[in-house]
Amino acid sequence: MDDRLLRLGIVGWPLEGSLSPSIHRCFIEQTGLEGDYRIYPVRPGQLSSRLEELGKRGLTGLNVTYPHKIEVLGLCGRLSDDARLAGAANTLSRRRREWWGYNTDVDGFARAFQESDARGPVLVMGCGGAARAVALAGRNMGLRCRVFCRRPETWGGECPSLPLDELPANLAKEEGTLVNATPLGWADDDVPPLRADRIRNWFFFDLNYNPNWLWRNELRRSGLPGGVQTGLAMLVYQAAESYRLWTAKRPDTGAALSLLRRKGYR
C-alpha cells in the first residue's frame, strides 16, 4: 500500500447524487496530490462496523453526512472543539489508528452566510447534525438563533428549540434568515410544512442543493424579496476545510464552484 496516496471518501445514506467526489477530485488535481475520493453508502445501524473496516483499509479521511453526523461522535478517539460544541461531526481524519472528528460545517455555513444577503436573526428548521452546525455558527457570529422541529425535546445543540408549529408565528414577528436544515428538498416534489407566503421578506437559506426542488424554485421565480440561496457554497467551503485538515493544503474553492455551476447547480 502506497502511504503517499490520499484515500478519501464520504459515508452516509443515501449517497446518490453526492457532489463531494467531484469537489474533492477537483481539489486533488489542483493541489498536485495523488489519490481518490469515493462514496461509501452506510445504512443506519452499520456505522461502527463500517468505520472500523474503512480504517483497516487505509482510508486517509472521511466526510460524514446524513444520518450519521451525531452518532459518529461516539466512535471518535478525539473531537475538535467545533464538533464537541455542535454535538455533531462531518469530517473524520485517521490518526494513530483511530478516527478524529471535526465539524467543518460550522465554518462552511458562516462563510457562505457572510458572503450572501443573509442577516440575523436566524430561524432554523430541523434538529439534526446540520442544524446543530448552523446554530453554533450563528452563535459564533453573534446572531440570535432559534430552532424549530417536530420533536424539540431531542434537540442537543446551541440556542433554544421550539415546536415546528410555532414557526409561522415567529416568522410574522420580524425579518431575518430562515434556514432549511431538514432532508426536505432532496426529492423534487417535497413540500415543507410551511406556506411560501409565510416567509415574506425573510432570506431563505436552503442547505440542500438539489437544483430540481420545485418548491424552492417556485420561491425563486416568485422573486422572494428577502432572497433565496442553496447550500452549494457551504458544501464547497466545508469540503475545502476538510481537505485542509487532511492535507494541510488550502484548495481553490472558486474552481470547484465553477465546476458545479457548469453542471447546473446554483
Q: How far from the centroid of its chain's Cα atoms is residue 228's Cα?
A: 17
Positive/negative CA dihedral, 142, 148, 149, 151: positive
| 8 Å CB contact between 256 and 26 | yes
**All cell numbers assigned to 98:** 483511530
| Residue 13 CA neighbour count, 13 Å, CB half | 10
Q: Which of 69, 173, 249, 263 is catalytic?
A: 69
Give the closest residue to 129 by CA, choosing from 166, 197, 81, 83. 83
- Residue 184 pairs in a beta bridge with none
**All cell numbers assigned to 16:** 446518490
**Residue keyed to cell 466512535:** 75
For the CA atoms of 42, 45, 51, 57, the dihedral, rounded to the nearest 10 degrees, stands at -60
CB atoms inside a 10 Å sphere around CB 154: 11
69 is catalytic: yes
d(CA 119, CA 128): 22
**Annotated active-site positions, please?**
69
